């Protein structure tokens, strides 16, 4: 501890260099926290560890193809399936086509919505009002907070790939894991081309127990494997993840980017520490002459790198929290909104980021510290200070 | 001379640059007594600083033996030698070599960080050392805020704060104006006379050398002559 003042003062010997080096660490740590939080969001379990009971069934070839509505009755016969709702992603524009006005619009069967979404809550009278009128919708609290809709307010959503405009009145407000969507009646789409063909985009269903999900998926897949429209049934979490994976193995990509950036910042900090040590060859020779051992010189230079990295780490971790929140706010108004609602900055992520900063310090400081410890006193003193 | 404090026997030093061998010191034999003030003189490249470095334990001999207070320092390992330097040697450099980011107080305190002294004890020692060199009122000043003479006095305070028996000074007045140089030499004489420090000083300056008890001349690595400095008696009288 008595050496700390010496270390501290040497860290800030060249203030601009120290702050720029710390800034690079801050940027990297913010990036690590954001990427880790996004990765965690992708792997988010809406059931909170209890295991989800939800299954999504889509056409085996992808979401671009639809399935016959008639499949619903057959899926309902699968053992342990509690309820099934056909759902269509409307994908319309509200107010204008700016990303910030984007939110999910899903048609569904209001009669079974509450049974299937057992992790959501909605007042009974609002649910009944929605079920009673086909030109009504329910919205998540997040959207209510954003648009300040009140019960009875009407909204118009212009279709994109479905050429019709929804004109809906707000019947209810729900709370739950993802409050960024509106749900409206399937019947409203009866006059659209999908409705006329008696088709749907997906089936959303619930089983009794999480353990029944894989069994039910398997049964549903086998049920339609030789039909004209084979299906792919999967747990809800896997369904969400496939959007991200449309861009390739995004998790591997994110981790690779994180590692490359981390390695780059190690090189930057190592260069900064090495430069600082090179400039102080005479100083190091002097303290060696005064009686400091090689090991002590190594520890001092290494400590400088660690102090620099830890300061950057603390600032990075502190700044990453508001930065991630700002990013999430932005994401909530984009097509990846469902992920945004799952983004949490966990203590593990923050600790990992802080640990990474310490590792940056150790890795970056090690070589310059060894070099400094190896300086021959007479050679160091011979250099002009 | 009674039992010498520093005993140099048949010491040679050869530097190797690739396949080239450069002899710097050849068969040096020298005894320096406790409390002596010795000036090493000679032209550039004569081996003065090399001999000083060998005595101070920051360089090693090619041949021969250097004993300080009966201890053959060639037998010490790197860590033991570092410890030995901290205990026995105070360094005074031509360019002062203070740490620019540390205050005068912190610079002087530096060698004491290696001891087991408490913070309070360190503070007392540093204040005493700065008092001796007359800079007690400049404790919180950084080197850039001091004149060359003041910087050198802080360096001397750093050299004496651990109470070493030997002070090695490499051109201590080489970077100073005449007045500051005189003040530094007065201080060295005082440390020698009042505190019995054994001083080995490398210098080009005959006036500085005249402050020593003994002048040694090196020429091409060979100790060519020894002479009592003309000012020796006056120095002993504390001038």
Contact of B102 with chain A, judged by CB distance below 8 Å, is answered with yes
Q: Is A291's CB within 8 Å of B83's CB? A: yes
Q: Which of B59, B99, B169, B174 to mutate to test the interface with A (most CBs of A within 10 A)?
A: B99
Q: Tell me how far the alpha carbon of residue B42 is from its chain's centroid.
A: 17
Distance in Å, alpha carbon of B175 to nearest chain A alpha carbon: 13
Measured distance CA(A147)–CA(A260) in Å, rounded: 41
Name the closest residue on chain A to residue B118, using Cα atoms. Answer: A2
The β-bridge relationship of strands A165-174 and A154-158 is antiparallel
Distance in Å, alpha carbon of A314 to nearest chain B alpha carbon: 24
Name the closest residue on chain A to residue B82, using Cα atoms. Answer: A291
pLDDT digits (tens, 9 = 90+) for B50-90: 999 999 999 999 999 999 988 999 889 999 999 999 999 99
Number of Cβ within 10 Å of residue A122's Cβ equals: 20
CB A304 within 8 A of CB A343: no
pLDDT of A163? 85
Q: Which residues make Cβ contacts (< 8 Å) with residue A15, sequence separation at least 6?
A: none
Which residue shows structure tokens 């050679």? A379
Pair of tokens at residue B153: 């006095």
Residue B231 has pLDDT above 50, yes or no: no
pLDDT digits (tens, 9 = 90+) for A225-281: 988 899 999 998 788 777 666 656 777 888 888 889 989 999 999 999 999 989 999
Q: Is B56's CB within 8 Å of A289's CB? A: yes
pLDDT of A244? 63
Q: Is A293's CB within 8 Å of B82's CB? A: yes
For chain A, residues with pLDDT lower than 70 are: 44-51, 243-248, 332-339, 341, 384-385
Query: Which ipTM score applies to this complex?
Result: 0.91
Q: 3-state DSSP call for residue A102? A: coil
Q: Which of A10, A292, A385 sits opposite B82 (nearest CB)?
A: A292
Q: Is A291's CB within 8 Å of B114's CB? A: yes
Distance in Å, alpha carbon of B222 to nearest chain A alpha carbon: 21
Distance in Å, alpha carbon of B230 to nearest chain A alpha carbon: 32
Q: Give the predicted TM-score (pTM) of the model.
A: 0.74
Surface of B (23-52) touching A: CB under 8 A = none
Q: Is A286's CB within 8 Å of B91's CB? A: yes
pLDDT of B234? 45
Distance in Å, alpha carbon of A19 to nearest chain B alpha carbon: 17
Q: Is residue B215 part of a domain?
A: yes
Stated as kind and residue range, the H or E segment containing B80 is helix B78-88
Pair of tokens at residue B221: 């690595």
Closest to A181 (Cα-Cα) out of A193, A192, A172:
A172
Q: Which of A283, A296, A378 sits opposite B58 (nearest CB)?
A: A378
CB B170 within 8 A of CB B208: no
CB A357 within 8 A of CB A316: yes
pLDDT of B105? 97
Residues from chain A that touch B110, judged by Cβ atoms under 8 A, are: 6, 287, 290
Q: What domain count does chain B have?
A: 1
pLDDT of A236? 86
Q: Note down the domain range covering B104.
A: 33-47+77-236
The larger pLDDT score, comparing residue A333 to residue B232, is at A333
Residues from chain A that touch B82, judged by Cβ atoms under 8 A, are: 288, 291-294
- Side by side, the strands of the sheet bearing A231-235 are A93-94, A154-158, A165-174, A136-140, A181-185, A104-108, A81-89, A202-207, A54-59, A231-235
Per DSSP, which regions of chain A are E strands?
Answer: 54-59, 67-68, 81-89, 93-94, 104-108, 136-140, 154-158, 165-174, 181-185, 199-200, 202-207, 231-235
Q: Which of B82, B91, B99 sits opposite A283 (nearest CB)?
A: B99
Q: Is A291's CB within 8 Å of B78's CB? A: no
Q: Is A287's CB within 8 Å of B82's CB? A: no
The domain locations on chain A are: 4-45+248-382, 66-228
**CATH code (residue B85):** 3.40.50.300
pLDDT digits (tens, 9 = 90+) for B86-137: 999 999 999 999 999 999 999 999 999 999 999 999 999 999 999 999 999 9
Q: Which residues make Cβ contacts (< 8 Å) with residue B96, sequence separation at least 6?
A: B143, B148, B151, B152, B154, B155, B175
Residue B239 has pLDDT above 50, yes or no: no
pLDDT of A334? 66
Q: Is B110's CB within 8 Å of A10's CB? A: no
The larger pLDDT score, comparing residue A1 to residue B174, is at B174
C-alpha separations of B115 from A54, A198, A291, B110 in Å = 69, 89, 10, 10
Residues from chain A that touch B144, judged by Cβ atoms under 8 A, are: none
Q: Is residue B83 part of a domain?
A: yes
Measured distance CA(A269)–CA(A195) in Å, rounded: 61
Which residue shows structure tokens 């090689």? A294
pLDDT of A41? 78
């Amino acid at each position: 501890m008595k050496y700390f003042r010496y270390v501290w003062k040497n860290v800030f010997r060249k203030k601009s260099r120290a702050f720029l080096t710390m800034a690079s660490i801050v940027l990297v740590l913010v990036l690590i926290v954001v990427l880790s939080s996004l990765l965690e969001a992708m792997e988010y379990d809406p059931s909170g560890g209890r295991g989800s009971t939800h299954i999504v069934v889509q056409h085996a070839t992808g979401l671009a193809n639809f399935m016959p509505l008639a499949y619903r009755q057959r899926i309902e016969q699968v053992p342990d399936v509690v309820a099934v709702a056909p759902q269509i992603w409307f994908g319309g524009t509200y107010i204008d086509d700016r990303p910030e006005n984007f939110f999910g619009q899903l048609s569904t069967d209001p009669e079974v919505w509450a049974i299937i979404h057992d992790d959501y809550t909605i007042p009974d009278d609002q649910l009944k009002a929605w079920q009673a009128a086909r030109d009504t919708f329910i919205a998540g609290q997040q959207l209510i907070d954003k648009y300040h809709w009140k019960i009875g307010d009407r909204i118009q959503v212009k279709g994109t790939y479905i050429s019709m405009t929804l004109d809906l009145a707000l019947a209810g407000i729900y709370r739950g894991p993802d409050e960024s969507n509106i749900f409206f009646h399937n019947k409203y789409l009866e006059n659209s081309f999908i409705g006329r063909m008696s088709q749907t985009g997906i089936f959303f269903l619930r089983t009794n127990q999480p353990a029944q999900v894989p069994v039910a998926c398997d049964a549903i897949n086998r049920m339609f494997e030789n039909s004209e429209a084979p299906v792919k049934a999967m747990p809800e979490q896997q369904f969400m993840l496939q959007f991200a994976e449309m861009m390739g193995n995004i998790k591997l990509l994110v981790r690779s980017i994180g590692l490359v950036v981390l390695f780059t910042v190690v090189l930057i900090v190592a260069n900064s520490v090495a430069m600082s040590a090179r400039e102080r060859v005479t100083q190091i020779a002097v303290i060696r002459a005064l009686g400091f051992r090689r090991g002590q010189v190594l520890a001092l230079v290494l400590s400088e790198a660690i102090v620099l990295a830890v300061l950057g780490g603390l600032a990075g971790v502190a700044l990453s929290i508001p930065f991630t929140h700002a990013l999430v706010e932005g994401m909530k108004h984009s097509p990846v909104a469902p992920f945004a609602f799952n983004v949490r900055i966990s203590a593990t992520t923050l600790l990992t980021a802080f640990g990474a900063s310490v590792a940056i310090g150790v890795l970056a400081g090690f070589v310059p510290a060894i070099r400094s410890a190896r300086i021959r006193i007479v050679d160091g003193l011979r250099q002009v200070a | 001379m009674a039992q010498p404090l520093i005993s140099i026997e048949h010491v040679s030093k050869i530097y190797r640059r690739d396949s080239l061998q450069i002899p710097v010191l050849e068969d040096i034999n020298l005894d320096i007594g406790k409390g002596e003030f010795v000036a090493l003189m000679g032209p550039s490249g004569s081996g003065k600083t090399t001999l000083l470095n060998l005595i101070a334990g920051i360089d090693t001999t090619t041949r021969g033996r250097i004993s300080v207070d009966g201890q053959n320092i060639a037998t010490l390992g790197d860590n033991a030698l570092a410890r030995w330097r901290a205990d026995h040697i105070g360094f005074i450099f031509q360019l002062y070599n203070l740490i620019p980011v540390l205050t005068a107080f912190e610079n002087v305190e530096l060698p004491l960080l290696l001891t087991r002294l408490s913070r309070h004890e360190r503070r007392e020692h540093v204040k005493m050392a700065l008092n001796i060199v007359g800079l007690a009122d400049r404790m919180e000043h950084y080197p850039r805020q001091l004149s060359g003479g003041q910087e050198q006095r802080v360096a001397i305070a750093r050299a004496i704060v651990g109470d070493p028996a030997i002070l090695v000074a490499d051109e201590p007045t080489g970077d100073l104006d005449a007045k500051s140089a005189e003040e530094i030499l007065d201080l060295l004489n005082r440390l020698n006379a009042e505190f019995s420090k054994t001083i080995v000083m490398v210098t080009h300056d005959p006036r500085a050398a005249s402050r020593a008890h003994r002048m040694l001349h090196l020429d091409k690595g060979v100790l060519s002559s020894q002479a009592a400095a003309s000012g020796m008696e006056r120095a002993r009288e504390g001038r």
